[in-house]
Chain A
Amino acid sequence: MRDRPAPPDAPTPATEGGPVAVTSAMRFVDEFRDRDTARAVAARIAELCEPGRRYGFMEICGGHTHTIYKHGIEDLLPEAVDLVHGPGCPVCVIPMGRVDDAIWIAEQEGVILTSFGDLLRVPGSRGSFLEAKARGCDIRMVYSPLDSLRIARENPDRRVVFMAIGFETTAPSTAVTVLRAAAEGISNFSVLCNHVSIIPALRAILAASDLRVDGFIGPGHVSTVIGCEPYRFIAERHGRPFVVAGFEPLDILQSIQMLLLQLHEGRSEVENQYTRVVSWEGNRKAVRAIEEVMEPRATFEWRGLGWIPDSALQLRKEYAAFDAERAWEVPAARVADPRACQCGEVLRGVIKPWQCRVFGTACTPEAPIGTCMVSSEGACAAYYNFGRFSRPRAAAARRG
């Protein structure tokens, strides 16, 4: 769900062999950011829009939201096309209670809690990881669960807990790390598992009566793992075209063109724009790794979406030794979101970030109330950091 060539939580070469050299990697990326090609695709998009009709397309993935704002993609789209931000930001959907549980674990004697950087500022009911760290908890940022395992290896007298988050994109690397810990017999490592599945969240969104979406820009990185087949019900039963898209701005523009073409031709299918990375059947090996180590939870609370059955993963009994939830009696208190917070409506695409009543006033990236304002993939943070300007005034400023 990330707009990077490799998810930062994928095994890094530091622990998996020699270092990679970064020299000419950017040439590859530049082709997908070309201004002239973008203009040509934008012109085709404008042609495909039927006069008087409006189109709402939901980009499911927070990585897409980030790309859209960072590159100013909306400036290239006709007025009639409206991009609706979806629930696919792994940090945004973590409820406050889970952050509290993690901090509670970090406060126990001898614990090192490890986490991805984007979680550090997420508010729990008693503050964020960053604040817990300032109070004296040993909380460390890692780029990969394998880094967390390394910390466990290097600190045999400490208990190292990895705060695992993410969709099917990141679940395989957590699973592989648990398998390795088991193989090496590392007993001071465990996982606080918050992995979630994208399909149940999409079902919840499609079931909502307030959904105004004509088609979906499908999550590229999740699809590298689960493939394209699981989305078929959206196209067939719900009649919404679905295009799995890459993370460069041209990928997104092209996927919008593909959605419009389907609507224009009266089709509703699952298509794959991101063929250079995603195969139709996905990555069976990664799925097997998840299935080996994890199983569905009966139910899980999603921030803003509430409790969704079979929507998250927990460690199987066979790997109970690596399950932080079994190692400690975490408080597991359910904490209601602050009343003013409208992250739920933002995550379901019902309102735009600026329509939230606390947007940019009580809730800012410096002092966030809701998760959508924290993660770089959160719709509110993306809009606040990149899109918070008046277009006519910006156009005048650009002319100088």
Chain B
Amino acid sequence: MSEPTEREVLERVDRVRRRRPRVTDERITLSHGSGGKATHALVEALFVEAFRNPILEPLEDQAVFEVGQARLAFTTDSFVVSPLFFPGGDIGELAVNGTVNDLAVSGARPLYLSAGLILEEGFPVADLRRIVASMAAAAERAGVQVVTGDTKVVERGKADSCFINTAGIGVLERDVRLSVSAACPGDAVIVSGPVGDHGITIMLARGELGISSDLRSDTAPLTDLVGLVLEAAPQTRFIRDATRGGVATICNELAQASQVAVVLDERAIPVRPEVRGAAEILGIDPLYVACEGRFVAAVPGERAEAVVAALRGHPQGQGAAVIGHVAAEPPGLVLVDTAFGGTRILDMLVGDPLPRIC
């Protein structure tokens, strides 16, 4: 048997990657929560298998369905961030914005939220007051109401101080059908602002690294910005907020679901110098670092400039930029045109460098 060529090996690897993921681990590890490959395997092999239905199967960040005449979006998210309070926000604000954004990026107008709190015995009521006040303020800013909720308390040591789950419902008033599988060759890939602020802020706020900075979390509701994109480019294919796993994970999800290549220009990706510096020291790629107030959008190439101009006209979107384009080949891969002048791929994350970031 002759030795396979590099090309043949790469094709074989591609075939292996296209196989349906399986969960072979005996126990849950932190990797399963990273938003990367292990999370995807868990979702596809365990959850989708069990709950299989046409609303779930597209694996968007929210379910979209019709009730009577109305198209509704529905989503849920849990928050376990540590520390609870950090520069630029806290767990309460995150819990509201996270769910609001998962609704908003479908093109929906977020309406109502639920809030479920799991509290550890001994948790200071003053901290709880602060968190709840911040949830109320975030809800007001985002134009949603918290209309139902639940509280559980567990014994000391059985949960870490305070976990929050929120679910939300919104209404789709525009005739848009955004989907992770809708990208086409020639589309532009846009990010709504500098990436990685939230994740690096949390890392530094833990105080274990001895690095100080003026960074603040970017947590914010994205409803207005999404509206601007959809007005400037009604044929927008896809929008997703870049939370766990960062911009890299979203681009991979897009490339795989749409069976296209996503080509990013490293020099065009906005990253604050403080984020780059800290990520460099920690050996982390900012493209994998979570944001809580940024999205990635794929829009028809000819509308890219109009979308960026519209975003930059809004106080939250001033750092918006076209960071790449969609090509037909090689399908399923994210390529990076490096600042140095070379090419590399950008894969899904394996393992979790930053647990409990949101």
Contacts and interface: CB of A to CB of B under 8 A. Distances in A.
Interface of A: 2-6, 8, 12-16, 18-27, 29, 33, 35, 38-39, 69-76, 117, 120-121, 130-131, 133-135, 143, 147, 249-250, 352, 354-355, 359-361, 364-367, 376, 384-391, 393-398, 400
A129 B335 CA distance: 32
18 contacts: A4-B281, A15-B210, A20-B211, A22-B278, A26-B276, A26-B280, A71-B339, A72-B344, A120-B351, A130-B30, A250-B340, A361-B13, A361-B16, A366-B41, A386-B344, A389-B330, A390-B7, A397-B327
A117 B13 contact: no
Nearest to A376: B283
A355 B263 contact: no
A133 B352 CA distance: 14
Dominant SS among interface residues on chain B: mixed
Interface of B: 3, 6-7, 9-10, 12-13, 16-17, 24-31, 37-38, 41, 186, 207-214, 261, 263, 273-274, 276-278, 280-283, 325, 327-330, 333, 335-345, 347, 350-351, 353
A72 B280 contact: no
Contact of B210 (A12, A117, A388, A394): A12
A5 B209 contact: no
Nearest to A74: B342
B24 A354 contact: no
Given A388-B345, A394-B335, A13 B210 contact: yes
Contacts of A2: 283
Given A354-B9, A361-B16, A387 B280 contact: no
Nearest to A121: B351
A41 to B, nearest CB: 11
B280 A38 contact: no
Contact of B341 (A75, A147, A360, A366): A75
B12 A360 contact: yes
A16 B351 CA distance: 29
A161 B101 CA distance: 44
A76 B344 CA distance: 12
A135 B341 contact: no
Given A19-B210, A367-B24, A75 B339 contact: no
B263 A398 contact: yes
A400 B337 CA distance: 12
Most A C-beta atoms less than 10 A away, residue of B16, B337, B351: B351
A147 B343 CA distance: 37
B281 A6 contact: yes
Contacts of B333: 389
A249 B327 contact: no
A387 B345 contact: yes
